[in-house]
Amino acid sequence: MKPGLFDRLNRVGAWMVLLFLVLPALIAIPVSLTPKRFLSMPEGEYSLRHFRHLFTSPDWLSSFAQSGIIAASTAILATTLGTLCAIGLWRVTSRNTEIVRAFLLLPLIIPQIISAMVFYRLLVPMGLIDSYPGLILAHTVLATPLVLITVSASLANFDPRLEQASRNLGASNWTTMRRVILPSVKPGVYAGALFAFILSWDEIVVTLFISKFNVYTLPRRMWNGIRENTDPTVAAAAVVLIAITLIAFAISAVIARRRAQGAASKD
Amino acid sequence: MQDKQFMKETLLDGARAYRAGRMDRRTFLALCGAAGVATNAVLAGDAQAAADHIVMWNWGGISEECHGNAIGVPFTEKTGMGMRFDTSGPLEGKIREMVDSGNVTADVADGDLFNAVSLGPTGHLEAIDYDIVSKERTLPQYALEYGVSVILYGYAFVYDTEAYGDNPPQNWADFFDTEKFPGTRSLYKWANGSLEAALMADGVPGDQLYPLDMERALAKIQSIKDDSIYWGSGSEVHSMVVSGEASMAIIWQNRGKNIEEDTEGRYKLVNNQAMAMPGAYIVPKGNPAGREAAMQFIATAQEVPSQLAILECLGMTPSNPEAFSQIPEHQQAYAITSAQNIDKIVFNDPVWWGENSSEAVNAFLDAIS
Amino acid sequence: MQALTRYISPGWLLVAPFFLLVVAFYLGPLVNILWLSLTDPEPGLGNYRMLTESDALARILWTTLRICAITTVFSVVIGYCLAYAMVHAHQKSQNWMLTLLLISFWISVLVRTFAWLMLLGHNGVVNSGMEAIGLIDRPVRFMRNELGVLIGMVHYMIPYAVLPLMANMQTLDPRVMAASRNLGANGVQTFRRIYLPLTIPGIVASSLLVFILSLGFYVTPAILGGGRVLMVAEYISVQLLVTLRWGTAAMLGTLMLIGVLALLWIMSRFMRLTTVFGGGATR
């Protein structure tokens, strides 16, 4: 079938939309290179001073570190909980599983502002406002559904007869889990861990409500910088974040390819 | 900024070295002198400092240094206690949350006097002890049960001299007159000051503003809605003005001084009909250093040298009448209680705001959106 | 024990930790908030009565619904064209398109909002560019108004609109379209009579998804709206942090929650929810 005029126009339009989606973020690059003290486009002259400030300022560095710690902890906890949960739901053959699954996905679907109220309400009486445990707890609840989804997707390709075979050969529950199920859902687990990390690393709305001073994550500092709208260090931070996004994206693409290869070799 | 950060670190390193005996006292003092910072403030800022200190909860930025020098140093001399900072900004909701959570980590919050009216009766604040704090060293209407005004800041406005150079706007009526003075206005997003300005523009005398006639004020504000943008923080309005996005802006008077300097006089501050806002140091209920220490701190802040130091450093105006006559020449035009300005300004009523601010803010947000 | 495992599959044990976490640390306070909407500041339906009594609340709800609806229409129409082009592109260009789409999907909302701030501002790149080529002689106000919010939101939502649509279009059998052509229908007719009806589930799912996400969107309206575009999410945050009216905030949250759950229920009639929400994640 030959593509008609409409198709061709639409294809050009599609590329333009894709550029519209990606290009605006790149404005951060020139702004971050301005030699001036305030947010502006550089005019002929470029300077790395804002990057230097970003990487030497204790404030920004501590935000990077805090976000890293919180995101890594969240990723570990969410991956553990989410993987167990996905395997559990997969093994239970009951009509209730879909309802339970939908229920467990709620934290992901419910608008963030409501989640922010929820955690604010939860953490104030617990005395965990503005603390690592508080933020990690909140982020874990939000991120685990993502792991649940990715691992469940991996399990959908997994042949339950393999598990049966493993048991028939005398393997215990634990051995079956460790030697048979986990290896085959590995790509889903990795992808889930990555998504959980990113979610926590990027999370701003809930964080705005439950952190204030002791814990000051990177998005929190960005938010402040954007609201104040003066310091070009924010632009440098945005560039770094874009770079990190691209790296994470490359990693996830590799995982996805592996998964595709794994699926293909099984067929 | 970078330099300041560097200096701060050098000093903190020095403080640690001094404590550990690796640096002699004289070198340390010289270092502090070079940085223009008092020894005690540095020692108190050190994370290793002893437990007996007071924590001031303020808005960060330059005020950390200013409060440290102007109040922290004399306070330490008087009581031997150090001073530390929580710079996360004591929003009313945050104060309430801190007290409700039972984990009170701040002794003195740099708030507004109207916070004392709304948070005091609900049990979130310590009452002011007027045996320690002086009622005479503040304006009579600003010595309340749960808060006392320690400084005044003001809502004034700046205008673009290039746009209105020949016939400059002189009062709030001019600010709200977009026919005579076309151009974009920037107003404060949280209602405060903007409502009073609107009423004065509409002809209400400055001493008869309260209780505010909300309908009248909002109607006036809506009349220039198409020409208005709104700001939420000092640096935001600063960049709106400096970038030329707004040709007139309601502004905190100390910020207005910075703008005059940054634009080399292109924008000019008008203090006529400026509204004096009582800033207060309020004490969260159950503060860690104890009520008495917090009261001592507030009393220190009331003293004339501290008042004048805050004016010099932050541009916040003294509220202690003893200090009014001592305002230096170069601050006369900017300090709202200076001899030059005091007859032209109006005074905010914290009691009205404490009791009505929720309704006022919501109505204002509704009117501008 | 055996009797127990006959009725309760051991799989539930693996589900239990997260299940309990959600119940204790999410559902619990959530119910507490619903309760608060009926009890704070005083027991009764006072908070809900405000909806009929306060013009302000009605207007905020209306602004929110209007902006969400406009965002949804633009995102889904643009997303539909994009998904169509992607599904029918060659494998290689499809991969490239997907890469660009997912990159934009992954870039932090703060970075994107910041970028719009730089582009659309008074002295922003768009304004100075248009001034330089003589299109305009005075800066146009692109932000601190509804236009800015819409630009930011549509930009953010397009990838979310595309993913369910693609999932739907990929399941269509191209032979159906070929048959239509063979029976003499032209391209437009085939599209209108065959393709479009077959993609309705995708359109519904993608519209509902975008609408739901827009309802609770906070970052972009708060920054690009400049105080002039007050939507429910920002209003809730003001009630919590500035005016301290938990009851009002809880009431609005409850309304939003009911709305979202209702929309999800409708959506589940058209598509498996996990497919939609996993769209970004499972790729």
A38/B100 touch (CB, cutoff 8 Å), yes or no: no
Structure tokens at C12: 């539930």
d(CA A85, CA A78): 10
* CA distance linking residue A194 with residue A188, whole number of Å: 10
Helix, strand or coil, per DSSP, at residue C188: helix
- Ranking A150-164, B40-54, B270-284, C73-87 by mean pLDDT, the lowest is B40-54
Same domain, B304 and B270: no
User: Taking CB atoms and an 8 Å cutoff, what residues of chain C touch B366?
Assistant: 55-56, 59-60, 230
Question: Is the complex ipTM more than 0.95?
Answer: no
In angstroms, the CA C242 to CA C155 distance is: 30
Whether the CB of A254 is below 8 Å from some CB of chain C: the reply is no
Count of structural domains, chain B: 2
pLDDT confidence of residue B158: 95
Residues in B closer than 8 angstroms to C230, CB to CB, are 365-366, 369
Residue B46: pLDDT band (50, 70, 90) is very low
Identify whether B30 is part of a domain: yes
Task: Indicate whether B72 and B157 sit together in one domain.
Answer: no
- Give percent of chain C above pLDDT 70: 93
Q: pLDDT of C93-115, one tens digit each? A: 998 999 999 899 889 999 999 99
Residue B42 has pLDDT above 50, yes or no: no
The three-point CA angle C146-C152-C157 to 5° equals 120
Q: Do C227 and B365 touch (CB under 8 A)?
A: yes
- CA B279 – CA B282 distance, rounded (Å): 9
CATH number of the domain at B227, please.
3.40.190.10
Residue at B298 is within a domain: yes
Short-list C218, C201, C208, CA closest to C262: C208
Q: Are residues B312 and B345 in the same domain?
A: no
Question: In the structure encoding, which two tokens stand for residue B156, read together?
Answer: 């004034």
Band (pLDDT 50/70/90 cuts) for residue B3 is very low
Residue C9 pLDDT level (bands cut at 50, 70, 90): confident
Residue B249 contacts residue B157 (beta carbons within 8 Å): yes
Top CATH class, A61-231: mainly alpha
Burial of B186 (0-12, 13-18, 19+ CB in 10 A): buried
B222–chain A Cβ distance below 8 A for any pair? no
Same domain, B273 and B283: no
Q: Do B223 and B284 share a domain, yes or no?
A: no
List of residues 6+ apart from C5 with CB closer than 8 A: none
CA distance, residue B88 to nearest chain A CA (Å): 5
Bond from prior residue into A107 cis (ω within 30 degrees of 0): no
Alpha carbons B190 and B354: distance in angstroms, whole number: 14
What does each of the 267 residues of chain A score in pLDDT, given as a tens digit? Answer: 455 777 888 889 999 999 999 999 999 999 999 888 778 888 888 999 999 999 998 889 999 999 999 999 999 999 999 999 999 988 887 777 888 888 999 998 899 999 999 999 899 888 888 899 999 999 999 999 999 998 988 888 777 788 888 878 888 877 887 888 888 888 889 989 999 999 999 999 999 999 877 889 999 999 988 887 778 899 999 999 999 889 988 888 887 777 677 665 544
SS3 call for B185? strand
Contacts of B361 in chain C (CB under 8 A): 238, 242-243
B187 and B145 within one domain: no
Residue C203's pLDDT band, with cuts at 50, 70 and 90, is very high
Mean per-residue pLDDT, C219-248: 88
Tell me whether residues B238 and A230 touch, CB distance under 8 A.
yes
Hey, is the C-beta of C166 within 8 angstroms of any chain A C-beta? no
pLDDT of residue B41: 44
Domain boundaries, chain A: 61-231, 232-262
CA C11 to chain A, closest CA, distance in angstroms equals: 4
Residue-wise pLDDT tens digits, B95-125: 988 898 788 889 999 999 999 999 999 999 9
Q: Which of residues 38-77 of C touch A (CB under 8 A)?
A: none
Q: Can you give the pLDDT at residue C152?
A: 95
Q: Is B241 contained in some domain?
A: yes
pLDDT 10s digits, B149-178: 999 999 999 999 998 978 899 999 999 999
- C41-71 pLDDT, tens digit per residue, is 888 888 898 888 888 888 899 999 999 999 9
Banded model confidence at residue B7, pLDDT cuts 50, 70, 90: very low
Residue linked to tokens 């004339």: B304
Give residue-wise pLDDT tens across range B120-149: 999 999 999 999 999 999 999 999 999 999
Same domain? B291 vs B189: no
User: Higher model confidence: residue B350 or residue C50?
Assistant: B350
How many A-C residue pairs are in contact by the CB < 8 A criterion?
A: 260
Residues 6+ positions from C248 with CB-CB distance below 8 Å: C47, C50, C239
Task: Label residue B43 by pLDDT band (50, 70, 90).
Answer: very low
d(CA C103, CA C80): 19
> B369 vs C226: CB contact, 8 Å cut-off?
no
Does residue B153 sit in helix, strand or coil?
A: strand
Q: What is the mean pLDDT of chain B?
A: 85
Tell whether B330 is covered by a domain. no
CA dist., res. A6 & res. B109, Å (int): 65
- B259, part of any domain: yes
Residues 90-119 of B with CB under 8 A from A: 94, 97, 100-103
pLDDT value of residue B4: 43
Q: Is C265 on the interface with A (CB under 8 A)?
A: no
Q: Which chain A residues are closer than 8 Å to B9 by Cβ?
A: 58
C52 to chain A nearest CA, in Å?
Answer: 23
Q: Is residue B307 in some structural domain?
A: yes
Q: What residues have CB less than 8 Å from B173, skipping those under 6 apart?
A: B200, B201, B203
Nearest CA in chain B to A58: B5
C-alpha span between A54 and B62 (Å, rounded): 19
* C244: nearest CB among B189, B243, B358: B358
pLDDT per residue as tens digits for the range C238-271: 888 877 788 999 999 999 999 999 998 888 777 6
Instruction: Please state the rounded mean pLDDT for residues C70-88.
Output: 95
Is the CB of residue A40 less than 8 Å away from at least one CB of chain B?
A: no
Residue B194 belongs to a domain:
yes
Measured CA distances, C165 to C84, C171, C175, C275 (Å): 8, 10, 19, 11
Distance separating alpha carbons of residues B274 and A261, to the nearest angstrom: 71
- What is the predicted pLDDT for the residue at A263? 60
Please check whether residue C155 touches A, CB under 8 A.
Answer: yes
Assess whether B270 and B284 both reside in one domain.
Answer: no
Q: Which long-range contacts (CB under 8 A, 24 or more apart) does C184-188 make?
A: C187/A4, C187/A6, C187/A7, C188/A6
Going by C-alpha positions, the residue among B144, B90, B156 that lies closest to residue B114 is B144
Q: Which of C122, C227, C243 sits opposite B358 (nearest CB)?
A: C243
Got the DSSP string for A92-159? Answer: --STHHHHHHHHHHHHHHS-HHHHHHHHHHHHHHHT-TTSHHHHHHHHHHHHHHHHHHHHHHHHHTS-
pTM for the model stands at: 0.83
Identity of the amino acid at B357: S
Residue B184, domain member (yes or no): yes
The single residue listed with the structure tokens 């109040």 is B71
Q: Does B97 sit within 8 Å of A129, measured CB to CB?
A: yes
Domain of B311? 2-151+279-324
Question: Would you say residue B215 has pLDDT above 60?
Answer: yes
Q: Do B133 and B158 fall into the same domain?
A: no
Q: Is the dihedral of CA C232, C237, C239, C242 positive or negative?
A: negative
Which are the contacts of A215, defined by CB distance < 8 A and separation ≥ 6?
A66, A70, A130, A131, A132, A134, A135
Answer yes or no: are the C-beta atoms of C22 and A141 closer than 8 Å.
Answer: yes
Instruction: Please tell me whether residues B236 and B347 are part of one structural domain.
Output: yes
Interface of B with A in 249-278 (CB under 8 A): none
* B51-82 tens-digit pLDDT: 488 999 988 777 888 999 999 999 999 999 99
Q: Which two tokens stand for residue B163?
A: 């746009």
Read off the pLDDT of each residue in B324-331 and give the average, rounded to a whole number: 91
- The answer to whether residues B307 and B212 belong to one domain is no
Residue A265: predicted pLDDT: 56
CB count within 10 Å of CB B231 equals 25
Chain C contact for A197 (CB, 8 A cutoff): no
